[in-house]
Structure 1
Amino acid sequence: MKFAEIQELIAQIDQSEIQKLELDFEGGHILIDKRDIADQPVQVTGTGEEAAKQQEQASPALPTASAKAVPESAKQATEVKANTVQVKAPLVGIVYLQPSPDKPQYKKVGDHVQKGEVVCLIEAMKMMTEIKSTSSGTITEILVANEEVVEYDQPLMTIIPD
């Protein structure tokens, strides 16, 4: 499938009532999802340089949320996020937000945490690793669910430093 054909397909889907389209073809795969355009870009996969070129060229063709006027509350939220620190997963594994199923969660949103305090555990290959806070402050978001599989360097929670 050529880039011009992909652009035409995107334009036709954009003008239609179709919310999601997944297309498999020889040498690739396309996923178009209009439900939340800012978080769900067009994905093109295939073999070799052609797929990489298609992905590179297809991404800029999408309209983005930045083209719209940003409400004042969204600007304030962005400013708050700029002042936060993220606790990230140092390894791949299963995250546990509580020490055991019958005990309460280490920390909840709104709780104060000290630098070096345990905020969760990650299990990898039957080994439990304590994840400690990287700074003192107040937890504003917990970005993962208990017993969720996490990737290396994935944000686990955000903290507003003191």
Structure 2
Amino acid sequence: MDYEEIKKLIDDMGNAKIDELEIEFPEGMKISMKKNTEKEIVVTNGAQMQANAISTTPTTNVVLNNQNNAEVPINETTGNKNAQEENYKIIKSPMVGTFYSRPAPNKEAFAKTGDTVKKGQVICIVEAMKLMNEIESEFDGEIAEICVKDGDVVEYGTPLFKIK
């Protein structure tokens, strides 16, 4: 299946009255689509498990999952600094990509140290596979620390912000 066929499948899925579609091909390729506010496709090819996402919208909103990325307890064994940090809530990267604190190089940052943020407020972008994924705060609070710099490559689970 080539790019144009996949693109047509996305368009057809948007017009169809189904919410989910999964196709497995004999050669090991698998296409899985779920309809939300954005369309997302994951293509895997056999044992390589190579994932490619194609979206018809330039921005995907990502809300951190409370079970996986929410609060991380910090060890109390190394003194006062850690005793203060145990009250922080950590917002972690939900994916591998490039961290950006602002929507464009000439724009203001989404959030800075000392800013008060609300749950659901966009606080940064993680670019992955040419898609700009807006990362929203899972908590109400004040940004105590931004743990990464603009343009840094982040891994899944990398702490991005400390919220108090």
TM norm structure 2: 0.52
Q: For residue 148 of structure 1, what is the aligned residue in structure 2? A: 152
Aligned-partner Cα distance in 2 for 1:135–1:77: 22
Matches within 5 A, 1:64-79: 75-79=79-83
After superposition, the CA RMSD in angstroms is 1.3
Aligned partner of 2:98: which letter?
I
Rounded Cα–Cα distance in structure 2 between residues aligned with 1:115 and 1:76: 28
Equivalent of residue 117 in structure 1, options 103, 115, 121: 121
User: Which amino acid in structure 1 is aligned with residue 160 of structure 2?
Assistant: L
The size of the alignment, in residue pairs, is 88
Distance 2:112 2:84 in 1: 18
Structure 1: tracts of 5 or more residues without a match:
1-69
Pick aligned residue for 2:138 from 134, 139, 152: 134
Alignment of 1:3-14 (within 5 A): none
Q: Name the structure with the higher strand share.
A: 2
Q: Which has the larger radius of gyration?
A: 1
Q: Does 1:92 align with 2:96?
A: yes
- Cα distance between partner residues in 1 of 2:110 and 2:100: 9
Shift of 1:79: 1.6
CA displacement 1:14-43 (0-9 Å, x = unmatched): xxxxxxxxxxxxxxxxxxxxxxxxxxxxxx
Deviations 1:8-67 (A, max 9, x none): xxxxxxxxxxxxxxxxxxxxxxxxxxxxxxxxxxxxxxxxxxxxxxxxxxxxxxxxxxxx
Alpha-carbon distance between aligned partners in 2 of 1:115 and 1:80, rounded to the nearest angstrom: 22
Counterpart AA for 2:79: K
Percent identity (aligned): 42
